[in-house]
Structure 1
Amino acid sequence: DWDIRLLLTKRSSINMELARTSSDDDAPSTMNYSILLQERPIKQTVTREALTLLLDTFYNKAESFLSSEVKLSLDVERLVQSVKALCTSLAAVETPDITAALNQLPACPCRLQPKVQKDISVLSNRENRVAIVEKLTAAILDLVELYCSTFNANFHTMPHSSRSTAPIQEAGMITNVLSFSVYAAHRVPITWAASYENFFLSCSLTHGGVELCAPQHTSKQSVSKYLFHLVVWDQRVCFPVQINQLPRESQLTVTLYATSLPPPGGAEEKSKQKRSIEALGWVTMPLFNFRHVLTCGRKLLGLWPSTTASGNARSSTPNFSQPDSVILQVDFPTSSFEVHFSTPPPAEFSPQYEFSRLDQGCQKQLHDVLHKKSLFWLSPEDRRLLWEKRYFCHVEASRLPLVLASAPSWEWACLPDIYALLRQWGCMNHLDALGLLNATFPDQECRRTAVQWMDSISDPELLDFLPQLVQALKYECYLDSHLMRFLLRRAIGDVRIAHYLFWLLKDTLQDSQFSVRYQYLLGALLCCSGHGLREEFDRQGWLVTILAKVAQRVRDATPSSRQAILREGLDKVKEFFTLNTRCRLPLNPGMLVKGINIQSCSYFNSNAVPLKLSFQNQDPMGDNISVIFKA
């Protein structure tokens, strides 16, 4: 056993180099908060300067087309080429308005379609050419506006009208069924045309992973060649669900399927081969945005490859992080008013009854259901019983997730009873409250209550929950959430929490689906941190990068040469400590080291060949710090 020695010291002598200072408070923030609250990807494909140059080229070609008398076919081709260049820069999207305008031009080598204008003599009339150019110009400007509303571009168009002044209609009062139109899938790989046929979309509505109705399917179509390769459906999808029956956190998931073509061969062989239907991509989006307004208008949704599914968690952000992702064009109904989902107040009547008032048989049945280990083991009969007897379950405070999972619906009309139950329920312990932050409970009030119950947790205990809480961010419908604000607030108040949160977020950046969300949170954390802590994170990242390269070289080397390569690589670590007199280890901010003991370092002969490292402790009274590094 070791004796613990306590030393009384003055506050002025405590090392505060990682804390925020008054200079940090006065320094301008580098985090773009307007982008933080916008549900947009962080990638952009065109700058304002490049787009201006392309638009000037289009206007010049349009003027040549209008004044053309002799070389009309050549001017048509140049005009189409300028339109194609514009569309290519704007995410390779060809809207139906652009297609309709181009169809009034005769065929040219870069665009051969059966629906194009056959009689070129129609263009001899200047008024007809002017009408075509006007339609093309309007369609291109609409595409630019669509691009700006989808991507985080460094430019914006002038809005046609102010949505802030639009009248508001409550979602609970709208009895229209949910519907939208699917136009096409853009940026379709050319290889798909030779490998698949019968492309169709499966559209489903879910809340907390539960389907609200049967999936709806589009017709089956093939790849078409316009300016680009795309699959055109131009079809309306209608769900048998009224808008007032939609939960606020309802998710629309669209999955692209296709039938694989058999390999080349004889007709008899093809007939014997079984044709399989493959899922090629999917996208999930919330129907209500973070302001609780029902989505409307034209949307571009980047599809995630079906091979990148991350368990039960699916990103509610379209995939624009991959520059070649297939883009789905969807048109939601627009109106003169905004459909807003207001949070209803809790019901006034929500009694609490004694469990003993139930008869013995019902008590035993309810007791058995309440003590099931997981809500996934609840049968439909169990759920019906739990919700029917919910006013008798308050004595089992930790069983709230089971009761809420039994709610028959989370639509607007059912929320007052659910919120009344939440308000009157006894405060759950921190571990049980964590159960309300999984994917089954996307409701904002439910998650807010869970975070509120966890707010009493101490800083040392919170460190044990951080890995789970960081993963729970995947199940938030929106980037700006109560859980995210809770983590940032606690990180500001404790350097250890900020340190561990930083490295947990760095690790999650490898998740392609959720990397954008975690990048925003990591940026917000660095913005809230002081200059000293940010510099410390830079040093730690530098050290980890050096060690990762050393570990890779050791793993790739032959067993006989590994020790020599390790010694050679650790010289780089020694140079690091020459430039940086000390550094904290990512494992623990309390481990402050000033160098490395190369002679005491080695490696393990397992498959990953992890390194066994020995660092020199900055504390002269402390022992050397031994760690295992595995890249």
Structure 2
Amino acid sequence: MRYDIRDQYPQALAKLLTITKWNKHEDVAQMISLLQTWPELPVLNALELLDFSFPDRYVGSFAINSLKKLTDHELFQYLLQLVQVLKYESYLDCELTKFLLDRALSNRKIGHFLFWHLRSEMHVPAVALRFGLILEAYCRGSTHHMKVLMKQGEALSKMKALNEFVKLSSPKATKPQAKEMMHVCMKQETYLEALSHLQSPLNPSIILTEVCVDQCTFMDSKMKPLWIVFNNEETGGGGVGIIFKNGDDLRQDMLTLQMIQLMDVLWKQEGLDLRMTPYGCLSTGDKTGLIEVVMHSDTIANIQLNKSNMAATAAFNKDALLNWLKSKNPGYVVIAFTQCCFFLLQLLLVQHGW
């Protein structure tokens, strides 16, 4: 019934590929022949074909042809997954690599995040060669952008060195003393130069003109994340806060935030705008990365603590967040629905070990 499926249910191509005996030459030849006449698939169905269960080059080429109609905004939504798919490609020279490079070279924002998604996993031996070649191809094709990215890499190196310095000095001194030593270190010319006049890795449309040393600090958690404040190039833009983390894998944070962004798209398609503004998060290397500081905000831990009678049980107070949302949004009827959605998302992530 393969021809009936092609003519009446083309979206079921993945199911047909699943039952194809890929170790039999005759079956593979018939499937490849059938793909030549298969109609173009919707984007979501085409993405399904990039699963590692379908390593055949012809299947990959068919999927990429269907993905070419993605807008830049839509491609950006799935860029994180497409980079992961590269790990399962059988050849260094493949259609997915060409597709991503072509779109990255024609859109600076896509190129920026493609670079960092690849760069963040260069420490993994299994993908270092492949990702390194793609990075080289992109940088050779956009030499001007390469200089901008090198500036960001230099700033991140200084942040990592500063974080290591804070980790060593904080156990031996009080926090004010350690903070003062951190400021002295940051006021060195090499640090000031590296942390000035660069694009924000979190958002390349924001230019960080200079670091505000006196407003910088570090947080009290084990890894001593740095809280760094920059001046924004935009007139009246105010300070831009960035948290640098060294020692935590931010890829799970990126995945969770991406899920929230996709849920926001689906909600808006159904006419439900929940005023979601996910903050920026970017893994930049082996257990290193950046998180956007949300100014004038409160943490979940503080909300739970302030709404609970006992500090020991604050984290288990199920009503704290709901009550806080109600106090900030009186009469907003979708509050409970929003909390339910976040609970389901959290449950899903926990079940999958994310």
TM exceeding 0.5: yes
Paired residue secondary structure (1:615): strand
Structure 1 residue 425, shift from structure 2 partner: 3.9
Are 2:2 and 2:16, in contact at CA under 8 Å, matched by a contact in 1?
no
Q: Distance in 2 between matches of 1:477 and 1:579?
A: 39
Q: Which whole-Å deviations, capped at 9, do the CAs of 1:384-430 have from their partners, x for residues lacking one?
A: xxxxxx568x4361x32222111133533212431344344443333
Deviation at 1:487, TM superposition (A): 1.0
Select the structure with the greater relative contact order (CA < 8 A; seq sep ≥ 6). 1
Counterpart selection for 1:627 from 219, 226, 242: 242
> What RMSD, in angstroms, separates the aligned Cα atoms of the two structures?
2.3
Q: What is residue 164 of structure 2 aligned with on the other side?
A: 552
Q: How does 1:414-563 map to 2 (within 5 A)?
A: 414-530=27-143, 532-559=144-171, 560=174, 561-563=177-179
1:116-127 alignment runs, 5 A limit: none
* Contact residue 228 and residue 242 of structure 2 kept, 8 A: yes
Contact persistence 2:35–2:62 (CA under 8 A): yes
**Counterpart Cα distance in 2 of 1:628 and 1:350:** 53
The C-alpha deviation readout for 1:261-308, integer Å capped at 9, x for no partner, is xxxxxxxxxxxxxxxxxxxxxxxxxxxxxxxxxxxxxxxxxxxxxxxx
The answer to whether structure 1 residue 570 and structure 2 residue 186 are counterparts is: yes
* SS at structure 2 position matched to 1:630: strand
Amino acid at match of 1:483: L
Letter in 2 for 1:569: C
Instruction: Supply the AA of the counterpart residue of 2:3.
Output: P
Q: Which residue of 1 aligns with 2:349?
A: none
Structure 1 residue 463 displacement after superposition: 1.6
Task: Find the aligned partners of 1:613 and 1:466 in 2 and give their Cα distance.
Answer: 28
Which one has a larger percent strand, Structure 1 or Structure 2? 1
Which string of whole-angstrom CA distances, capped at 9 and with x for unpartnered residues, describes residues 30-50 of structure 1? xxxxxxxxxxxxxxxxxxxxx
**Counterpart Cα distance in 2 of 1:449 and 1:595:** 47
Secondary structure class of the residue paired with 1:440: coil
How many angstroms does 1:580 deviate by? 7.9
* Paired AA for residue 537 in structure 1: L
Decide whether the 8 Å contact of 1:593 with 1:616 is kept in 2.
yes
Label 1:536 to 1:576 Cα distance change in 2 as closer, same or farther (>3 A): farther
Is 1:395 the counterpart of 2:5? The answer is no
- Is this contact kept in 2: 1:350–1:420, CA < 8 A? no
Tell me how far apart the structure 1 counterparts of residues 193 and 224 of structure 2 sit (CA, whole Å). 27
Label 1:586 to 1:417 Cα distance change in 2 as closer, same or farther (>3 A).
same
1:613 equivalenced with 2:228 (yes/no)? yes
2:216/2:228 contact within 8 Å kept: yes
Q: Does 1:405 align with 2:18?
A: yes
The residue correspondences of 1:580-599 to structure 2 (distance < 5 A) are: 582-599=197-214
Q: CA deviation at 1:601?
A: 1.6
2-side partners of 1:596 and 1:564: how far apart? 16
Matched with 2:331 is none
User: What is the CA-CA distance between 1:519 and the residue it aligns to?
Assistant: 1.0
Offset, 1:472: 0.9
TM-score, structure 2 as length reference: 0.63
Q: In the TM superposition, what is the alpha-carbon distance from 1:556 to its structure 2 partner?
A: 3.0
* 1:460 CA drift (Å): 1.9
Match of 2:290 in 1: none
Deviation at 1:518, TM superposition (A): 1.1
- Partner SS, residue 438 of structure 1: coil
2 CA distance for matches of 1:465 and 1:409? Answer: 28
The one-character-per-residue Cα deviations of 1:53-102 (angstroms, maximum 9, x if unpaired) are: xxxxxxxxxxxxxxxxxxxxxxxxxxxxxxxxxxxxxxxxxxxxxxxxxx
Call closer, same or farther: CA 1:577–1:432 in 2, change over 3 Å: farther
Task: Tell me the equivalent position of 2:276.
Answer: none
CA contact (8 A) 2:199 2:208 kept: yes
> 1:558 Cα deviation (Å)?
2.7
CA distance in 2, matches of 1:400, 1:607: 49
Matches of 1:408 and 1:579 in 2, distance apart? 56
Kindly, what percent of the aligned residue pairs are identical? 26
Shift of 1:577: 4.5
What TM-score, normalized to structure 1? Answer: 0.36
**Which deviations, in whole Å up to 9, do the C-alpha atoms of 1:532-578 show, x marking residues without a partner?**
21211111111110001111221233352432332233224x64444
In structure 2, what is the Cα distance between the partners aligned to 1:577 and 1:558? 22
Whether the 8 Å contact between 1:350 and 1:417 is mirrored in structure 2 is no
Structure 1 position 608, deviation (Å): 2.1
Check conservation: 2:196, 2:211, Cα contact below 8 A: no
Give distance in 2, aligned partners of 1:579 and 1:471: 31
1:26 maps to none
Distance 1:611 1:580 in 2: 13
The correspondence of residues 40-189 of structure 1 with structure 2, limited to 5 A, is none
Contact 2:213-2:229 within 8 A present in 1 as well = yes
SS in 1 for 2:227: strand
Q: Tell me, in whole angstroms, the C-alpha distance in 2 between the residues paired with 1:578 and 1:549.
A: 15
3-state SS of paired residue (1:557)? helix
Larger helix percent: 2
What is the alpha-carbon distance in structure 1 between the residues aligned to residue 184 and residue 15 of structure 2? 58
Give the equivalent residue in structure 1 for 2:255. none
Q: Which amino acid aligns with 1:395?
A: Y
Report the alpha carbon displacement of residue 583 of structure 1 after superposing the two structures with TM.
0.7
SS at 1:629 equivalent: strand
User: What letter matches 1:588 in structure 2?
Assistant: N
Gaps of 5+ in 1: 1-348, 353-389
1:597 maps to a residue whose letter is C
1:567 alignment partner AA: H
Asked if the contact 2:217–2:227 (Cα under 8 Å) also holds between the matched residues in 1, the reply is yes
